[in-house]
A = this chain, B = another copy of it.
Amino acid sequence: MADPIESTPHTNGPVVLQAAEAEVVNAIRRSGPLSRTDLARKLGYSRANITGTIAGLLARGILLEIGPGVSQGGRRPVLLALNGQVGYVAGVDLGATSVDLALADFNGQILERFSEPADVRDAPEVGLSRICEILLELAGRRGLTPAQVIGIGIGVPGPVEFQKGVLIAPPLMPKWEGFSIKDFVRQSFPLAQVVVDNDVNVMAIGEQHAGAGKDIENFIFIKIGTGIGSGIICKGQIYRGSDGCAGDVGHICVDYNGPLCHCGNPGCLEAMAAGPPIAARAREATLAGLSEFLAKRLAAKNHLTAEDVGQAAAAGDGVANEIIKDSGRMIGAMLAGLVNFFNPRLILIGGGVSKIGYKLLSAIRQAVLRRSTALSTRALRIEFSHLGDDAGVVGAIRLALDHVFVVQN
């Protein structure tokens, strides 16, 4: 049992800020602790102009004065930091078969974590009741009341209409269609801002704030698993598109004569290069007697996964290598188009199939370099996700933190 936290100054929902206060808070959230002089310079005001604003934020306990910073010649200045204990947030990464949860303070410091299996095919009430139960338990461990959890970010594996926070025609979790996740979660956390987003967007946000995407203006996070999707960071912010469905790259065509996808069109990337087609091709080749390694695997457990194919390739299996190269080539061909269009600085590859390893990454890189314009690949990096399985929960916390301050106009 961890130490209980001293009582916090804020227990009544989102923190409401005036426009000038929000500028100060956001500057500190972006840069970390700053002196009054730094703040005035960054915001383009005189020091006198922001004194009142800062005094108000200190009085409300939103900012704290901390030990002196680096001297610029005179007395070392006092630094202003965000008070992590103004409030608490939770991050939830709901996957098809598991759920990851964490409780964090206002500085994004994770205090408690928990994971367990889940099944999104269940009715939303079942899954969300359990999620709320765990979050209440995590808050309780830290001596926090539900009212002190003032932001909850939730990533879900399906298309989300972001403003409303509801899933639209989610193939993996049809019972959740149109269900108000916000309203349900608010029954347990009545003062929380509940923010729901697509899992890949949330992972991109996680990488942006704590992973490989730090300080990168434009990048794409692509998740390769049962399906294929992407999250877009554009000019330093998550980009959701005009209807909230930007990044849905799994149904981009990579072979106009390819097999029919469940969406009804031929040659979708998802139908040709995601986990299930990799496993299906491996099974076919194995039954045709082309792989000793995979034949043993298939005999042992009666099915094959993309990870089995990765292990076969690592063991030098020729067929497995070919399947992986083909998959990487198709993913790379699709990405080459996005690189020409979006000209990102970085592409991060995550999701279960990325665990296949470097042969997949290498094939993706080759295809992108071959088909993208020279200028767009001059400084482009293509890497595996740095946060790996943590990207979702870290991103969900950040998503919550981005919504706990409300600006009053």
Contact B343 A246 (CB under 8 A): yes
Shortest Cβ gap from A220 to chain B (Å): 9
| In the assembled complex, A248 has its CB within 8 A of some CB on chain B | yes
Contact B265 A241 (CB under 8 A): no
Q: How many residues of A contact B (CB 8 A)?
A: 61
Contact A376 B245 (CB under 8 A): yes
Chain B residues within an 8 Å CB radius of A262: none
Interface hits, A204-240 → B, CB 8 Å: 217-218, 230, 232, 234-235, 237, 239-240
Contact A242 B343 (CB under 8 A): yes
| In the assembled complex, A290 has its CB within 8 A of some CB on chain B | no
Chain B residues within an 8 Å CB radius of A70: none
* Known contacts A242-B379, A343-B243; A373/B248 CB under 8 A: yes
Tally of this chain's copies: 2
Contact pick for A256, options B247, B255, B340, CB 8 Å? B255
| In the assembled complex, A333 has its CB within 8 A of some CB on chain B | yes
Shortest Cβ gap from A331 to chain B (Å): 13
Closest to A376 in B: B245
Contact pick for A19, options B44, B232, B247, B372, CB 8 Å? B44
Contact A249 B20 (CB under 8 A): no
| In the assembled complex, A2 has its CB within 8 A of some CB on chain B | no
Shortest Cβ gap from A71 to chain B (Å): 22
Shortest Cβ gap from A344 to chain B (Å): 6
Shortest Cβ gap from A241 to chain B (Å): 3
| In the assembled complex, A338 has its CB within 8 A of some CB on chain B | yes
Closest to A334 in B: B337
Closest to A373 in B: B248
Contact A249 B218 (CB under 8 A): no
Contact A376 B243 (CB under 8 A): yes
| In the assembled complex, A253 has its CB within 8 A of some CB on chain B | yes
Chain B residues within an 8 Å CB radius of A241: 218, 342-344, 376
Cα–Cα, bound, A407→B43 (Å): 12
Chain B residues within an 8 Å CB radius of A247: 341, 343
Cα–Cα, bound, A38→B311 (Å): 65
Chain B residues within an 8 Å CB radius of A374: 169
Shortest Cβ gap from A329 to chain B (Å): 10
Of A19, A243, A253, A409, the most chain B CB neighbours within 10 A belong to A243
| In the assembled complex, A371 has its CB within 8 A of some CB on chain B | yes
Contact pick for A246, options B251, B337, B341, CB 8 Å? B341
Contacts A/B (CB < 8 Å), 19 sampled: A20-B45, A169-B374, A169-B375, A218-B241, A218-B242, A234-B239, A240-B343, A242-B379, A243-B378, A245-B373, A245-B376, A246-B342, A249-B337, A251-B340, A253-B333, A253-B371, A265-B371, A341-B342, A342-B342
A-to-B contact residues, CB < 8 Å: 18-20, 41-45, 159, 168-169, 217-218, 230, 232, 234-235, 237, 239-249, 251-256, 263, 265, 333-334, 336-338, 340-345, 370-376, 378-380, 407-409
Q: A253-B371, A255-B256 are known contacts; what are 18 more A-B pairs with Cβ within 8 Å? A: A19-B45, A20-B45, A234-B234, A234-B235, A241-B343, A243-B378, A245-B343, A246-B342, A246-B343, A248-B373, A252-B341, A253-B333, A253-B336, A254-B256, A263-B373, A265-B370, A341-B341, A342-B342
